């Protein structure tokens, strides 16, 4: 009975002071929304990060560290330390344990986007997410030497369409002064958005890569020695070297043995890495940052809770009369203190529920926009256990800090005399 009384008194009191409390409640709501949002993004980004590449068992490149190899092959960041010989690729092709190979050759760019030279195997075997294959939004995968396929992000950013002509640049960088202008490429296909670095690259054939570099052996074009498209058709354009190879094995159990064999390859120094392992190592580096972000958000929530307590303590002076009445009518100091605990908890619960509604609204509204503009895939999903725990920690923390005004009210009302304090 006393609990029901306390509950009804606290509810009536919250409603009575709704104008002041709405503001602190709003502060708390926004900070909890931020907390939920950051936590949600954290798991979503991790999910999308670890699903950048899938089904590839080994990435093989010139001898280097695994992060470096992962960064330049998968994320198109940084540069290769060295190339691997075409004969090495051919030797790998003969290995019976290897099911498929995707050769890639890097080095050029198109308006700041990496050019990836590869072959049909890329379209056929490359997987991302939970084993999703690449799909073309329009056109077809390249067939001719001067065909190019654009990632979804490139096509959207540069507003390119099928059959447009593009001039690739030599080397990286957004503005390059050495362009392969003798050998324009034609867009034959545009990929569907994947939310991975695949969207941010353009794809040509290995032969195309070879063709545009004839006459560029010194690093710049020597006029008269470069190929025209017509002359290129007649030439043998088998590359002498490539940058890296993605490999898929027949039997996954052999992964470590194949990795060891490649690392000990006698022909030239090679490194083979397991993309999953390298990705999680990379994520560990980044997780410092995201944990710091979560920590900061946590502090924002704590700050708003302190604000809430400050307001409740300020309101305490206003409530002297009503406390005097309750005490004189026979309410115990414990009941008075419980009013503060219930009010604080009630505000926190209201803030959490509002934050839940707010963040689900934000995600459902911003989700499609984020995917089309940034290639980040965020969908509304039920909260996981960790997120529920994080959300529940807010009312729990509120309960804890509620003891500050509650104890002070308890102490004051214990020595409360008859009538309001100033009348004594």
Partner 1 sequence: MNSQLLSSADGSIDKPAALETSNLTFCWDRLQPTLRFPDLNLPRGEHLFLYGPSGTGKSTLLSLLAGMLSPASGVVKLLGTEFHTSGAGKRDRFRADHIGVIFQQFNLVPYLTAEANVTLPCKLSSRRQSATGESPTVAAQRLLSALAIPQSHWQRKVTQLSIGQQQRIAAARALIGAPEIILADEPTSALDSDNRDRFINLLLGLAGERNTSVVFVSHDRSLARCFHHQIELGQVSA
Which residues sit at the interface with partner 1, rule CB under 8 A?
1-2, 4-5, 9, 12-13, 15-17, 321-322, 324-333, 414, 416-420, 423-424
The one-character DSSP state at 303 is: H
Question: 141: closest CA among 107, 106, 102, 197?
Answer: 102
Q: How far is the CB of 199 from partner 1 (least distance, A)?
A: 58
User: What's phi and psi for 30, nearest 5 deg?
Assistant: -65, -40
- Quote the CA–CA distance of 6 and 62 in Å, as a whole number: 72
* Gap between the Cα atoms of 174 and 415, Å rounded: 75
CB of 414 to partner 1, least distance (A): 7
- State which residue, 96 or 317, has the beta carbon closest to partner 1: 317
CB 405 within 8 A of CB 318: no
Nearest one of 81, 151, 64 to 109, comparing CA atoms: 151
Of residues 70 and 326, the one with the C-beta less far from partner 1: 326
Report the residue number, 88 or 416, with the smaller CB distance to partner 1: 416
- H-type alpha helices, 173-274: 206-212, 229-234, 255-263
Closest CB to partner 1 among residues 350, 397: 350
Smallest gap from Cβ 336 to partner 1, in A, equals: 10
In the complex, least distance from residue 24 CB atom to partner 1, rounded to whole angstroms: 18
Query: In the complex, what is the shortest distance from the CB of residue 334 to partner 1, in angstroms, rounded to a whole number?
Result: 8
CB closer to partner 1 out of 65 and 417: 417
Q: Which is nearer to partner 1, 350 or 370 (CB)?
A: 350
Residue 109 · residue 177 · CB < 8 Å: no
> Smallest distance, Å, CB 15 to partner 1?
7
**Which of 1, 213, 23 lies closest to 106, judged by CA?**
213
Q: How far is Cα 278 from Cα 288, in angstroms, rounded to an integer? A: 16
């Amino acid at each position: 009975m006393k609990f029901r009384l306390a509950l009804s008194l606290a509810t009536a009191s919250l409603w009575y002071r709704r104008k002041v409390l709405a503001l602190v409640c709003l502060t708390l709501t926004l900070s909890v929304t931020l907390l939920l949002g950051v936590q949600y993004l954290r798991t979503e980004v991790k999910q999308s990060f670890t699903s950048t590449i899938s089904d590839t068992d080994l990435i093989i490149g010139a001898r280097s560290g695994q992060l470096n190899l992962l960064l330049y092959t998968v994320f198109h960041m940084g540069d290769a330390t060295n190339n691997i010989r075409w004969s090495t690729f051919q030797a790998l092709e003969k290995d019976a344990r290897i099911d498929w190979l995707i050769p890639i050759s890097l080095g050029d760019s198109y308006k700041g986007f990496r050019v990836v030279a590869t072959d049909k195997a890329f379209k056929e075997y490359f997987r991302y997410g939970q084993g999703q294959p690449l799909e073309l939004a329009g056109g077809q995968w390249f067939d001719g030497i001067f065909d190019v396929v654009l990632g979804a992000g490139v096509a959207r950013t540069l507003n390119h369409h099928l059959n447009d002509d593009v001039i690739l640049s030599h080397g990286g960088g957004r503005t390059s002064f050495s362009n392969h202008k003798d050998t324009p490429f034609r867009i034959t296909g545009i990929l569907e958005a994947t939310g991975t670095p695949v969207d941010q690259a353009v794809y040509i054939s290995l032969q195309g890569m070879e063709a545009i570099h004839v006459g560029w052996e010194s690093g710049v074009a020597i006029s008269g020695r470069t190929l025209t498209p017509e002359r290129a058709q007649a030439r043998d354009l088998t590359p002498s070297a490539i940058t890296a190879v993605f490999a898929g094995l027949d039997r996954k159990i052999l992964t470590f043995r194949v990795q060891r064999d490649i690392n000990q390859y006698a022909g030239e120094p090679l490194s083979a890495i397991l993309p999953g392992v390298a990705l999680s190592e990379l994520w560990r580096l980044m997780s410092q940052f995201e944990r710091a972000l979560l920590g900061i958000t946590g502090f924002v929530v704590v700050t708003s809770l302190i604000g809430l307590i400050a307001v409740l303590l300020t309101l305490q002076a206003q409530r002297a009369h009503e406390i005097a009445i309750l005490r004189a009518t026979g309410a115990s100091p414990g009941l008075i203190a419980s009013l503060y605990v219930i009010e604080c908890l009630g505000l926190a619960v209201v803030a959490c529920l509002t934050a839940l509604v707010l963040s689900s609204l934000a995600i459902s509204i911003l989700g499609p926009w984020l995917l089309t503009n940034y290639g980040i895939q965020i969908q509304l999903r039920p909260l996981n256990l960790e997120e529920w725990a994080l959300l529940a920690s807010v009312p729990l923390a509120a309960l804890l800090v509620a003891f500050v005004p509650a104890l002070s009210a308890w102490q004051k009302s214990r020595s409360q005399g008859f009538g309001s304090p100033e009348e004594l």
